[in-house]
Structure 1
Amino acid sequence: MWFPPALIDLPNVAPVTLPEADRPSWLFWILMGPCASGWLVAYGLAIYRAKLDKRVGIPVFVVEVNLAWEFTLSLILDQADVQRPINLSWFLVDCFILRQTLAYGWKDYPGMSRRAFRWMVFGVIAWSAVFHIMTTYELKDATGIYTGTGLNVFLSLSFIFMLSRRGSSLGQSMYVALAKGIGSFFAGWTVLVMYPGHHLFIFLFLTVWTIDATYCVLLYRKVREEGRSPWAWNRGPAEVPDDPGVLTAVR
């Protein structure tokens, strides 16, 4: 026996092998409905904000990894019947965000040519698709919950990094932040109802909710600092003299 003894013993049965908990279908849809709708609204509002500011509204790397997740789990992998149409609807809307990413995303990478940026985007999408396929297959994760939950943590952090990197509210709005937060909140409860004994999900979604709330506060303060209303629907782009978007990229 190794000294000192382990503080936490491993379970006899890995939680990942446990089946979904029994739950009424109406409870699933009460939780999953706002989750799916919240994300669709967040996507739509991000597209609208990006058109106004000419800056992508979703962090570039998140667009790539998220698009690959939605693509593989709606068109490639065997998926739970109830989840497939939701993933497909997200994927179709995300295609518009990808288009905006190719048009505006290079502004977050001023030291990179637009050609190199495009190669990076499609390279990350391809790698992420393979990763999602292999991970989902390895875990036999028919609902994509493990990769999706991990992606959600990465997404939430990326919004804060994007705000810090840009130093302004360009491409961002409180409405996107709130819609994303609502979608993630109900996603968490959906997962916890389906898999109540999975402590990893409890930890990850508490992390997501905390980060989402932090981002809302930081974005609100930034917009106020810029002298504008965080709730103005058609507020103009923030004036940032050193914004790399005013530079001409090498094609």
Structure 2
Amino acid sequence: MNLKLILLIICGAFWSITYIAVARKGLKDKTYAMPFLALSLNFSWEVYNTIQGYLFAGFHISTKINIVWTLLDMLILYTYFKYGNKELGKDKKTFYLYSISILLLSFCLQHYIGYKLGLIQGAVYAGFWINLLMSILFIRLFYKRSNLEGQSLLIASAKCIGTLAITILVGVLGINRLGGKIDSIMYIGFITFIIDFYYVYLVGKSLKTKN
């Protein structure tokens, strides 16, 4: 097993742990545990690239990982639709209209990026930008809420490790199908990792203060 495959498996495993922890925390705390804009973009990315990836490469390991992520994101979406409006405070009709509109726009954006950049390049760039946005929105969620409701050290740490693994794989070592390492992806990835690490620090510090 080569290093690139190991990094891909680490990324797949730790982001899967992140999604499981997000869904579990959301169900436990009766809230949504992933900011909805990030969730919507992430879900549309996974569905789009699972379908396109299967059509392009069959059941490649990346396609199998995307299938797992899609199923886990569906569970996270369930927690959002079940508990999200408690925090947002909209009437039911407006809440569903707003949420479904964001989801539809997210799918349109994924299709546009895939059309403009191609399947592989589009998936990589969209995925890294979505991950960066998610990291920023997790920190916003931390400051928005007066407690750690919907947040945990496991979520923060697992996402951070997953981010580091995929950044090294794509931005440092490089993937042949992408023409080798991509400097811009390396920069985006390491900025995201720094933000993730800061989020780990914030959650850890809050837990120590709480105890």
TM over 0.5: yes
Letter in 1 for 2:83: Y
Asked whether the equivalents of residues 69 and 132 of structure 1 are also in contact (C-alpha less than 8 Å), the reply is yes
Structure 1 residue 183 displacement after superposition: 1.0
If the length of structure 1 is used for normalisation, what is the TM-score? 0.75
- Kindly indicate whether residue 7 of structure 2 is the aligned counterpart of residue 28 of structure 1: no
In the aligned structure 1, how far is the partner of 2:207 from the partner of 2:14?
22
Asked whether the equivalents of residues 73 and 79 of structure 1 are also in contact (C-alpha less than 8 Å), the reply is no
- Kindly indicate whether residue 201 of structure 2 is the aligned counterpart of residue 222 of structure 1: no
Q: Which residue of 1 aligns with 2:19?
A: 43
- Kindly indicate whether residue 97 of structure 2 is the aligned counterpart of residue 119 of structure 1: yes
Call closer, same or farther: CA 1:187–1:197 in 2, change over 3 Å. closer
Letter in 1 for 2:80: T
In the aligned structure 2, how far is the partner of 1:178 from the partner of 1:222?
14
Structure 1 residue 114 displacement after superposition: 2.9
SS in 2 for 1:142: helix
Q: Which residue of 2 aligns with 1:200?
A: 184
SS in 1 for 2:119: coil
Call closer, same or farther: CA 1:217–1:95 in 2, change over 3 Å. same
- Kindly indicate whether residue 80 of structure 2 is the aligned counterpart of residue 101 of structure 1: yes
Letter in 2 for 1:184: T
Structure 1 residue 76 displacement after superposition: 4.6
Q: Which residue of 2 aligns with 1:56?
A: 32
Q: Which residue of 2 aligns with 1:92?
A: 71
SS in 2 for 1:167: coil
Asked whether the equivalents of residues 170 and 182 of structure 2 are also in contact (C-alpha less than 8 Å), the reply is no
Letter in 2 for 1:222: S
- Kindly indicate whether residue 123 of structure 2 is the aligned counterpart of residue 142 of structure 1: no
Structure (1/2) with the larger helix percentage: 2
Letter in 1 for 2:192: V
The two structures, once aligned, show a CA RMSD in angstroms of 1.7
Structure 1 residue 82 displacement after superposition: 3.7
Call closer, same or farther: CA 1:219–1:91 in 2, change over 3 Å. same
2:154 to 172, 175, 179: 175
Asked whether the equivalents of residues 64 and 122 of structure 1 are also in contact (C-alpha less than 8 Å), the reply is no
Letter in 1 for 2:103: I
If the length of structure 2 is used for normalisation, what is the TM-score? 0.89
In the aligned structure 1, how far is the partner of 2:124 from the partner of 2:61?
13
Q: Which residue of 2 aligns with 1:190?
A: 169
Runs of 4+ in 1 over 3 A off after TM superposition: 76-82
Structure 1 residue 128 displacement after superposition: 0.8
Asked whether the equivalents of residues 108 and 166 of structure 1 are also in contact (C-alpha less than 8 Å), the reply is no
CA offsets 1:72-112 (integer angstroms, 9 cap, x no match): 111256554342221111001110110000011123312x2
CA offsets 1:4-45 (integer angstroms, 9 cap, x no match): xxxxxxxxxxxxxxxxxxxxx722211000100001111111
Asked whether the equivalents of residues 79 and 142 of structure 1 are also in contact (C-alpha less than 8 Å), the reply is no
In the aligned structure 2, how far is the partner of 1:88 from the partner of 1:173?
25
2:50 to 74, 99, 102: 74
Structure 1 residue 210 displacement after superposition: 0.6
CA offsets 1:94-146 (integer angstroms, 9 cap, x no match): 10110000011123312x22321222221111111111111112111326101
Structure 2 segments unaligned to the other structure (5+ residues): none
Structure 1 segments unaligned to the other structure (5+ residues): 1-24, 229-251
In the aligned structure 1, how far is the partner of 2:15 from the partner of 2:128?
14
In the aligned structure 2, how far is the partner of 1:109 from the partner of 1:210?
29
Letter in 2 for 1:65: L
